Chain A
Amino acid sequence: MKNLHSIMLDKEKCKGCTNCIKRCPTEAIRVRNSKARIIDQRCIDCGECIRTCPYHAKYAVTDSLEEINKFQYKVALPAPSFYAQFEVDDVNKLLYVLLDIGFDDVFEVAKAAEIVTHFTKQFILNNKSKKPIISSACPAVVRLIQTKFPDLIENILPIASPMEVAAYIAKKKIQREKRIEEGKIGVFFISPCAAKMTYVNSPLGFKRSYVDGVIAIKDVYGLVRSKLREIKDVKLLSIASGKGIGWAASGGESLALEIEEYVNVDGIHNVVKVLEEIENGRLKDIVYFEGLACSGGCVGGPLTVENPYVAKNRIKRLSSKLKDKEESFSWWTEEIINSFSLKLEDILFEKELETNPVLELDSDIERAMEKFEKLNNILSMLPGLDCGACGSPTCKTLAEDIVRGFANDTDCIFILRESIKELANKMVELSNKLPPSLERNDE
């Protein structure tokens, strides 16, 4: 599986400490030569290492604002979490500022979220197969499942994410209204997260992405903030309701679906725990599972600026403020669906999600079994302290790395010490032995 991840390491800043290797949910990082190294195929871009690194050596590669100038017509797709970054009472102001910083148009991902909600409701009604249905909105969670929970792939909702739907509609709309050809329209997602960047490079469930670039919220934050202060007149641009905006925080997606039997979980390690339970067949009564990699949901994304709890509260306030206009907003949803004659089939996955077999010891089961046996033997010799000094997150991972041929048992400082001790004893022993020519005669 191609997995061009977008999280990178600034070698200058990395001290080679073990904070990130310990927190990575897929054990994708090792320390080698005093620097962290990310194993591409294992990384799911959850951003946990960005958050954990005390030296800020991890960062996500995203596009700069200048990139938009490559296109004739530039469209901003603000993520719902973008709204939570600023203390603004009117969403129109925020959208207007996006036009002010260089975009020609905006299309709210929150509106696309409402469209996705509309079709997800249809899907749930017709779905008779796997329960619970697992939300596909968080690409890090989808990749987590592909890597660690291959048996749950069939539970994943096979519907495009709001970002993708927004990009699709925006492109169609502009082609139709402005008569501009598709190649000249640049659609940019204003993103709270790194996983979306990866998604655009190698989409999940689709052959291509309609998004042309991903710009980090933090990279436009300062500019947007300063422009917000200057703003005088405002255009009516906002068409998303509180339900769509609510997607920014954990639970918002489920709430919009208006079903009772759902579970929403945020924070990648919590998501892992609940997926374990789903695997055990424990959450059968649950219809929908909304798992988000970041604590608090997208508002807690590694590319956001505002404190996630403050941001969550703002989303709640904005959502309830827009509530009394709900009817006119749902008119907008219908209008878009009808004018593009969108059907569920149009946003269903084009191709099946593959498993990412990087955790397998070998593709041949018999050889994998041999390696497993070897792994256990090695593990029994390791001290089990999970100190991380060898550069692998745990003793178990070191054992695995040894079996795979990426490490040696002497990488463990305890084994190394033991070997040195043996060697030292042997040296003492040898030094006491004299050649026969010099052998003293004590008699």
Chain B
Amino acid sequence: MLIDLEFEIEPGNFILAGEASSKIKETLKKLGVKPEILKKVAIVSYEAEMNIVIHSIGGILKAIISKDKIEIIAQDSGPGIENIELAMKEGYSTAPEEIRNLGFGAGMGLPNMKKYSDYFEIDSQKGKGTRVYMVIYNK
């Protein structure tokens, strides 16, 4: 059995930002997923959601929950990432000044997503968009 959650993420809307990951968290709590797993999913899904809000022109956040694992997929249309290697470095950020002033875009998003997921895959094409696929095993 699978539970499939899909949320459309509005770019630039900081009021709604975080709602999708909140709903994912809420679902996992209802399912009785262990606190350690929950914590990882909370962080990666929130970071992924924020990246779409900050950098893209729109996208979706998906969570596919099965008994053994939680897959988080963030897919957006937007500028894409020019240099993935650089983007994966802690503290490297292309977020504009005004977003940094809001306390976001500290360059920890992608590194944190990688750090807290058991499997991490990123795919990006300049001018097209970015897709991040993450798996957290539910053990």
Interface positions of A (Cβ within 8 A of B): 148, 150-151, 153-154, 276-277, 279-282, 355, 357, 359-363, 365-366, 368-370, 372-373, 375, 400
A280-B18, A282-B46, A366-B67 known; A150 vs B29 contact (CB < 8 Å):
yes
> A362: nearest residue on chain B (CB-CB)?
B32
From B3, B38, B47, B65, give the contact of A151 (CB < 8 A).
Answer: B38
Contact between A369 and B46, CB atoms less than 8 A apart: no
CA distance A356 to B28 in the complex (A): 15
B88 within 8 A of A: no
> How distant is A384 from chain B, measured CB to nearest CB, in Å?
15
Contact between A372 and B46, CB atoms less than 8 A apart: no
> How distant is A330 from chain B, measured CB to nearest CB, in Å?
36
Contact between A281 and B42, CB atoms less than 8 A apart: yes
> B31: nearest residue on chain A (CB-CB)?
A368
B36 within 8 A of A: yes
Contact between A359 and B21, CB atoms less than 8 A apart: no
CA distance A372 to B25 in the complex (A): 13
A151-B36, A281-B112 known; A368 vs B30 contact (CB < 8 Å):
yes
B94 within 8 A of A: no
Contact between A372 and B31, CB atoms less than 8 A apart: yes
Residues on A with C-beta less than 8 A from B30 are 359-361, 368, 372, 375, 400
CA distance A280 to B35 in the complex (A): 13
16 sample A-B contacts, Cβ–Cβ < 8 Å, listed by A number: A154-B35, A276-B22, A279-B25, A279-B42, A280-B46, A281-B47, A359-B29, A361-B31, A363-B32, A365-B32, A365-B138, A368-B32, A369-B1, A369-B67, A372-B27, A400-B30
> Interface digits, B29-54 against A, CB 8 Å rule (1 contact, 0 not)?
11111011011001100110000000
Residues on B with C-beta less than 8 A from A279 are 25, 39, 42
> How distant is A19 from chain B, measured CB to nearest CB, in Å?
24
Could you say which of A148, A359, A368 has the most chain B C-beta atoms within 10 Å of its C-beta? A368
Contact between A369 and B65, CB atoms less than 8 A apart: yes
Chain B residues touching A, majority SS: helix
A150-B29, A368-B30, A370-B1 known; A280 vs B38 contact (CB < 8 Å):
no
Contact between B32 and A361, CB atoms less than 8 A apart: yes
- Number of cross-chain contacts by CB at 8 Å: 66
Could you say which of A277, A281, A368, A370 has the most chain B C-beta atoms within 10 Å of its C-beta? A281
Residues on B with C-beta less than 8 A from A153 are 35
From A277, A360, A365, give the contact of B67 (CB < 8 A).
Answer: A365
Residues on A with C-beta less than 8 A from B25 are 279
> B25: nearest residue on chain A (CB-CB)?
A279
Contact between A280 and B21, CB atoms less than 8 A apart: yes
From A148, A280, A282, A357, give the contact of B32 (CB < 8 A).
Answer: A357
Contact between A369 and B29, CB atoms less than 8 A apart: no
Residues on B with C-beta less than 8 A from A282 are 46, 103
Q: A276-B22, A282-B103, A360-B30 are in contact. List 19 more A-B contacts (CB 8 A).
A: A148-B29, A151-B35, A151-B38, A279-B25, A279-B42, A280-B21, A281-B47, A282-B46, A355-B35, A357-B32, A360-B31, A360-B32, A362-B32, A369-B1, A369-B31, A369-B67, A372-B30, A373-B1, A375-B30
Could you say which of B22, B32, B67, B112 has the most chain A C-beta atoms within 10 Å of its C-beta? B32
> B30: nearest residue on chain A (CB-CB)?
A361
Could you say which of B18, B29, B38, B138 has the most chain A C-beta atoms within 10 Å of its C-beta? B29
> How distant is A32 from chain B, measured CB to nearest CB, in Å?
23
> How distant is A400 from chain B, measured CB to nearest CB, in Å?
8
Contact between B32 and A151, CB atoms less than 8 A apart: no
CA distance A366 to B3 in the complex (A): 10
Contact between B3 and A373, CB atoms less than 8 A apart: yes
Residues on B with C-beta less than 8 A from A276 are 18, 22
> B112: nearest residue on chain A (CB-CB)?
A281
Residues on B with C-beta less than 8 A from A400 are 30
CA distance A373 to B65 in the complex (A): 12
CA distance A397 to B41 in the complex (A): 24
Contact between B1 and A366, CB atoms less than 8 A apart: yes
Could you say which of A148, A150, A280 has the most chain B C-beta atoms within 10 Å of its C-beta? A280
Residues on B with C-beta less than 8 A from A154 are 35
> Interface digits, B104-128 against A, CB 8 Å rule (1 contact, 0 not)?
0000000010000000000000000
> A371: nearest residue on chain B (CB-CB)?
B30
> A279: nearest residue on chain B (CB-CB)?
B42
Interface residues of B in 52-76 (CB under 8 A from A): 65, 67
> Interface digits, B77-89 against A, CB 8 Å rule (1 contact, 0 not)?
0000000000000
